[in-house]
Amino acid sequence: MAKADVDWSNLGFSYRTISKRYVANFKDGKWGEGVLTEDANIVLNECAGILQYCQEVFEGLKAYTTKDGRIVTFRPDLNAERMEDSAKRLEMPAFPKERFLEAVDQVVAANKDWVPPYGSDASLYLRPYMFASSPVIGVKPAEEYQFRLFGTPVGPYFKGGAKPITLCVSDFDRAAPHGTGHIKAGLNYAMSLHPYVMAHNNGFDENMFLDSATRTYVEETGGANFLFITKDGTVVTPKSGSILPSITRRSLVYLAEHMLGLKVEYRPVKFSELKDFAECGLCGTAAVISPVGKVVGKEETIEFPSGMEKMGPVTQKLYDTLRGIQLGTIEGPEGWIREIK
């Protein structure tokens, strides 16, 4: 298939309609057959559950072209499992893992000309999601749902290399204890928009959210988990029931321990410890790791020794290892790469 006529290296992170997407409907207590469609629009009843009570969950992953020209996705089985967990928490019928993986394969295969070439640092971002499609006015779970999966080509997250970003400690909370912080749902993002806009207006790149019960422990940003590196090279990542379990973070921590021989600590991390760390990064599918140079708190500003010019050395090593696995230049653990035929 000929590549689409796109300037791959100048793509941003924005939506663009491409050829085919996958759709399946849940009706009469079961998921119907999925189809690929060219129709990017959805017609919904005015009272659909998603529009009234926000019953929606989503995922995000990417398809890449490897150095040897294969098209691959990275650990899509974990996205499938996480989406099942998210759906259960919102009383939605889980979309079966095997079908999720088939949908990923089908959409990527049908849009191969939209998968950016190796070397562009761009990728085909995939967005699986499901929502309540039938009318609901009395508060209860809907009876019908739709699962969709579309792709959109996105450029390198950082053009011209990753520059460290500056965070502020938010006055707002992201997730309540025993709430929905651990699932990937649009509702967690709706309420993060105001703090996000505030942070931007105040000149910051992102918010650091602390635990809402005590405001003592580090949780995450609006859409990425934290990794810290101690001065003696240990990788530390916060543990909390209200953090979204990032697949990137779980993968990096695994590589740190099993491939790079680093010590790893998965534990609650106090905000007051930040000043002792050497490096800080944010992990997620979008950027893999965004280095953090500075965190501005209420009383103190933490400037990590890695500085504002480049990623710290351990963060860089983690980044290079994961990117190498995704792009096929480093052999990763078995089953991490799913090739699309």
Ligand X SMILES: *Cc1c(COP(=O)(O)O)cnc(C)c1O
Are 249 and 208 a contacting pair, CB within 8 Å?
no
Residue 63 interacting with ligand X (CB under 6 A)? no
Nearest distance from C-beta of residue 185 to ligand X, angstroms: 8
Q: Give the DSSP per-residue string, 106-127.
A: HHHHHTGGGSPPTTS--EEEEE
Residue 165 interacting with ligand X (CB under 6 A)? no
Tokens linked to 235: 């990788």
90-109 residues in contact with ligand X (CB under 6 A) are none
Count of residues interacting with ligand X (CB under 6 A): 14
Nearest distance from C-beta of residue 105 to ligand X, angstroms: 19
Nearest distance from C-beta of residue 217 to ligand X, angstroms: 16
Are 271 and 219 a contacting pair, CB within 8 Å?
no
Closer to ligand X by CB, 134 or 326: give it. Answer: 326
* Secondary structure (3-state) at 53: helix
Q: Name the DSSP letter for residue 9.
A: G
Stretch 208-247: interaction string toward ligand X, x if CB under 6 A: ------------x--xxx------------------x-xx
For residues 248-284, one letter each, b for 16 or more C-beta atoms within 10 angstroms of the residue's C-beta and e for the rest, the string is: bbbbbbebbeebeebebeeeebebeebeebbbbbbbb
Among 184, 294, 317, 338, binds ligand X (CB under 6 A): 184
Shortest CA distance to 64 belongs to which of 290, 311, 333, 288?
A: 288
Closer to ligand X by CB, 60 or 141: give it. Answer: 60
Closer to ligand X by CB, 111 or 246: give it. Answer: 246
Tokens linked to 19: 């050829």
Compute the C-alpha angle 150/68/291, nearest 5°.
65
Stretch 293-332: interaction string toward ligand X, x if CB under 6 A: ----------------------------------------
Q: Looking at 91-99, 116-124, 278-286, 302-310, which segment touches ligand X (CB under 6 A)? A: 278-286
Residue 60 interacting with ligand X (CB under 6 A)? yes
Closer to ligand X by CB, 170 or 248: give it. Answer: 248
Beta strands per DSSP E along the chain:
21-27, 30-31, 35-37, 56-58, 61-65, 71-74, 123-132, 145-154, 165-169, 206-208, 225-230, 235-238, 264-267, 277-284, 288-296, 301-303, 337-340
Residue 284 interacting with ligand X (CB under 6 A)? yes
Q: Name the DSSP letter for residue 274.
A: G
Among 73, 207, 248, 306, binds ligand X (CB under 6 A): 248
Residue 126 interacting with ligand X (CB under 6 A)? no
Nearest distance from C-beta of residue 135 to ligand X, angstroms: 28
Which residues pair with residue 130 across a beta bridge?
57, 147
How far is it, in rounded angstroms, from Cα 277 to Cα 235?
10
Q: Looking at 18-26, 41-49, 84-92, 279-287, which segment touches ligand X (CB under 6 A)? A: 279-287
Q: Please report, as ranges, the residues that interact with ligand X according to CB under 6 A.
A: 60, 184, 220, 223-225, 244, 246-249, 283-285
